[in-house]
Structure 1
Amino acid sequence: MTQVFFHCSNPKKVFLDPRGAEVDDIAEARDLATRVVRSVTSERTLEDWRDWVVHVSDDQGDELFVMPFTLVLGKPH
């Protein structure tokens, strides 16, 4: 198991994940990153989430991958 962290950012803001989660593999980390995006964007705000990304890093601070919110949200119609 590996401890991973899901930090969210856009060009103006950063939200750090202080707890992270333990995952068995990169596929599980990807699934959790998708859930993070859905959770964050489900809150009723005026925020435009299209320029946000999730930075998934391990407990050493090495970035494993970046997931743009638009990958989960899709393009606006």
Structure 2
Amino acid sequence: MNRILIIIAYIIIALLEIPALMKETNKRELILYSLLFSSSLAFSILLGLEIKLIDPAKIIENIVKLII
């Protein structure tokens, strides 16, 4: 049931946001939005399935430590 509600919510958001982005004709912004939107949808579905995910804060922390 959670998965269905998540998918419906994302469809509604996509129907509201994507047409406005397409009118602006900024393809880079549309591509970036689509990538982030798709990845957040995937993570939301995985969380809805109660699959334990890694903490992205740890990954970002390790990357920052490598840079500094």
The answer to whether TM tops 0.5 is no
Higher strand residue share: 1
Higher helix residue share: 2
- Could you state the TM-score of these two structures normalised by the residue count of structure 1? 0.35
- Higher RCO, 1 or 2 (CA under 8 Å, sep at least 6)? 2
Larger radius of gyration: 2
- Could you state the TM-score of these two structures normalised by the residue count of structure 2? 0.39
